[in-house]
Amino acid sequence: MAETRLETLPEECLSHVISFTSPRDACRSSIVSGMFRDAADSDLAWENFLPSDYREIISRSVSPVEFSSKKELFRKLSSTPLLIDGGNKLIMVCWLEIRGKINTRMLSPNTTYGAYLVIQLAGRAFGLGVLPSEVSIEVGDYKTRGTIYMNHEQCKRQEVDVLSGGVERVLCARGDGWLEVELGEFYNDGSEKEVKMEFREIKGEQLKGGLVVEGIELRPKHSLNLEGFL
């Protein structure tokens, strides 16, 4: 009887319900039946998983963002570096602040996530490693803080400090040519909350430049990668 009642639901109704889950759950539900697949792959479902300002983001992209569905757009925004504003958004500053936020309903429940700032340092980068930068993650009443250095020389000394039980945040090279540093980690218990992530260096007054920011990447720790389900 349950299957019969589900089959009578309009696809738009089922897509609306799926939009309140997560991208991972939407991909998993698509294997239930053909009806679920159509509903889970619909633009109505994936529209809710995209950032609220995604239209503005892609309109400011250096390269055109081509996509045939909102699901494909989600995959591209999640996995492909996207430079905006002519690639010159951050040229030279005195204070540096990068903030990001995401709702936990877009993530898998009962999972520990790490948040990583993905960057690149230009050959003539300057002023970034004079003072340590502060990083933090806040989820409800939970908040974690740390410090990082933003150049390769400080990073090498920082790795030595880690061995002696000191500083824990380390700038690391990725396989795709970018660098990343962990801002912190948090546990998603399944309740709906807002995750706030921050990187900043506002204590020094020296000029800073040469930092290329791809974005903040969230990925499960000790769990399957979301890309495997998209």
Q: Domain ranges in the chain?
A: 2-79, 90-229
The region of weakest confidence among 17-31, 45-59, 146-160, 210-224 is 146-160
C-alpha–C-alpha distance, residues 179 and 138, integer Å: 23
Q: Which pLDDT score, from 0 to 100, does residue 187 have?
A: 94
Which of the residue ranges 83-87, 157-161, 165-169 would you say has the lowest mean pLDDT? 157-161
Query: So what's the pLDDT on residue 6?
Result: 61
And the tokens for 146?
A: 């740390």
2-79 CATH pick, 1.10.3210, 1.25.40, 1.20.1280, 2.40.360: 1.20.1280
Residue 198 pLDDT class (50, 70, 90 cuts): very high
β 194-201/96-103 pair status:
antiparallel
Indicate the CATH number for domain 90-229. 2.60.120
**The pTM is what?**
0.61
How crowded is residue 183: how many other Cβ atoms within 10 Å of its Cβ?
A: 26
Q: Which of 3-7, 18-22, 124-128, 190-194 has the lowest mean pLDDT?
A: 3-7
User: Is the predicted pLDDT of residue 63 greater than 50, yes or no?
Assistant: yes
The reported pLDDT for the residue numbered 229 is: 36
- Inform me whether the pLDDT recorded for 38 exceeds 70: yes
Mean pLDDT of 136-162: 69
Number of Cβ atoms within 10 Å of the Cβ of 107:
20
Contact, 121 vs 151, CB < 8 A?
yes
Return the SS3 of 136. Answer: strand
| Spatial CA neighbour of 186 closest among 111, 117, 78 | 111
Closest CA to 43 of 64, 24, 26, 57: 26
